[in-house]
Amino acid sequence: MASSGINLKADDVKDSFSKSFERLLRTVELREDKRGKVAIKELNDTIRSEAEALATRVRSDSQNPEIDKAMRTYPIFSSLKSIISEASKAIDDLCKVSKEMYDARDMISWGRLRLTCFNLISFLGSNEERCAVLLPVIIDPTLDMLRSTSARTDFACVRVACNVVRVLSLSPKNRPLLWRKGSFSVMTMHCDHKDPNTSLAASVSLRYLCTQCERSLIDDAPTFVAATERLRSVFGKDPTKIHPMVRVELSRAVALLLPCCNVARKNDTITDKRLTMIESALDVMCTDEATRFFCYLLVSNIKLLHAEALNALKASFEYSKEKDKIRDTDFMRYLDGIRIRVGDRNVSVCARLTETATSDKAGPPG
């Protein structure tokens, strides 16, 4: 193997991570003592440059234990949180000023700084232990950014911020706090984003959050109900306008959510008010449009996706039958009445399940 011409000893690499963290924090502290637009802008540019360099190194060696040591020594997440919060406020303020007061250079400077900080956070959150440290510190400014005025135009930052939420959602331990902070609601705001990479990150986050979420549905029923109303508009969209992978992830999220709602509404501790909220959400997710939407999972030959869709159909049937929304009293007749598109064919769910019952094939949804 050809030599790169650079020989780094182990200690040099260890020190370099710590020094990079320390240097970035010192620059942030120096910035806090500065006054004046020019001085702050110069230090913002310096912080961005140092954060970019650190992000590049972390990305290429994300599991290096020296990163964890440096994180324990230097409170970098708190510093990144303060920078993101300040940048978001500055950007939102610039979005509100008159044309005469608007400064494009300021907008670009703050935007790049915020994006770089989010990139660094996404690379640092590469394992469960780091995410546990990262979550309580960084989730508020991340969700605030995704709710902000600038989220309508800063597509690059929205994409990275949605990926941060996706990474944080990976661990089941993090999901109750993510629900309490409003992550489910915020992800429904971006699951049909124009950028398919953003909508995919938001949709995957929703799938994680919808896994075994019965308790969170009860605790956060008010925000959950408002979010399902946003999903109603997604169900009504032309499915050919939604990226196939996004459609799969969103379908899985809804399919996982339906049985959880059914369990939650039967919980002994649920109040009448919250029961009404969850049932109003079920009214949205048990519509014909919603059913056809998540039955896209049956286009695949993947057994796991079929199982998720079938569980959702059982939950929908049970709820609809209880509320006298359907006439069928037989589950198989109910399935036979639901039509889905498989290639150029229009078939019933019952027929599709029969088709694939003995198939061992596995492939991506068509």
Residue 97 confidence (pLDDT): 87
Buried b (16+ CB within 10 A) or exposed e, 300-310: bbbeebbebbb
| Residue 340: strand pairing partners | 347
Q: Confidence class of residue 116 from pLDDT cuts 50, 70 and 90? A: very high
Residue 3 confidence (pLDDT): 39
* Structure confidence by residue, pLDDT tens digits, 230-276: 999 999 998 888 999 999 999 999 999 999 999 999 999 999 999 99
Buried b (16+ CB within 10 A) or exposed e, 151-176: beebeebbbbbbbbbbbbbbbeebbe
Q: Average pLDDT in the 339-349 region?
A: 91
Lowest mean pLDDT among 30-34, 72-76, 139-143: 30-34
As a whole number of angstroms, the distance between CA 248 and CA 196 comes to: 13
CA distances, 182 to each of 168, 193, 224 (Å): 13, 18, 9
* Structure confidence by residue, pLDDT tens digits, 346-364: 999 999 988 887 665 444 4
What is the residue extent of each domain of the chain? 12-170
Q: Average pLDDT in the 28-56 region?
A: 81
Residues in the chain: 366
As a whole number of angstroms, the distance between CA 300 and CA 297 comes to: 6
pTM of the model: 0.89
Q: Which two tokens stand for residue 84?
A: 């993101």
In percent, how much of the chain has pLDDT > 90? 70
As a whole number of angstroms, the distance between CA 92 and CA 338 comes to: 46
Cβ-proximal residues to 22 (8 Å cutoff; 6+ apart), any chain: 73, 74
With 50 as the cut, is the pLDDT of residue 192 above it? yes
Q: Average pLDDT in the 100-110 region?
A: 90
Q: Average pLDDT in the 205-228 region?
A: 95
